[in-house]
Copies of this chain bind each other. A is one copy, B any other.
Amino acid sequence: MKFYDCATAPSPRRVRMFIAEKNLDVPVVEVDLGSREQHGDAFASLNPHRTVPVLELADGTVLTSSHAICRYLEEVHPRPALMGSNPQERGRIADLDWRIEQEGFLAVGESFRNRAKSFKNNAVPGKHEHAQIPELVDRGRSRASQFMQWLDTQLDDQTFVAGEQFSVADITAFTAIEFAKWIKLEAPAEYVNLHRWYSAVSARDSARL
A interface with B by C-beta (< 8 Å): 49, 55, 57, 59, 61, 63-65, 67-69, 71-72, 75-76, 87-88, 90-92, 94-95, 98-99, 103, 124, 126, 128, 130, 133, 135-136, 139, 142-143, 146
A63, A68, A126 — most chain B CB neighbours (10 Å): A68
Q: What's the Cα separation between A65 and B101 when bound, in Å?
A: 12
Q: What's the Cα separation between A64 and B93 when bound, in Å?
A: 11
- Chain B residue contacts of A128, Cβ below 8 A: 142-143, 146
Supposing A71-B90, A130-B139 touch, asked if A95 and B49 sit within 8 A by C-beta, the answer is no
Supposing A133-B136, A135-B135 touch, asked if A88 and B72 sit within 8 A by C-beta, the answer is yes
- Chain B residue contacts of A59, Cβ below 8 A: 88
B61, B126, B135: the one within 8 Å of A133 (CB): B135
Say whether chain A's binding surface is mostly helix, strand, loop, or mixed.
helix
Say whether A91 contacts B71, CB under 8 Å. yes
Q: What's the Cα separation between A124 and B130 when bound, in Å?
A: 20
Residue of B nearest to A77 (CB): B87
Say whether B88 contacts A67, CB under 8 Å. no
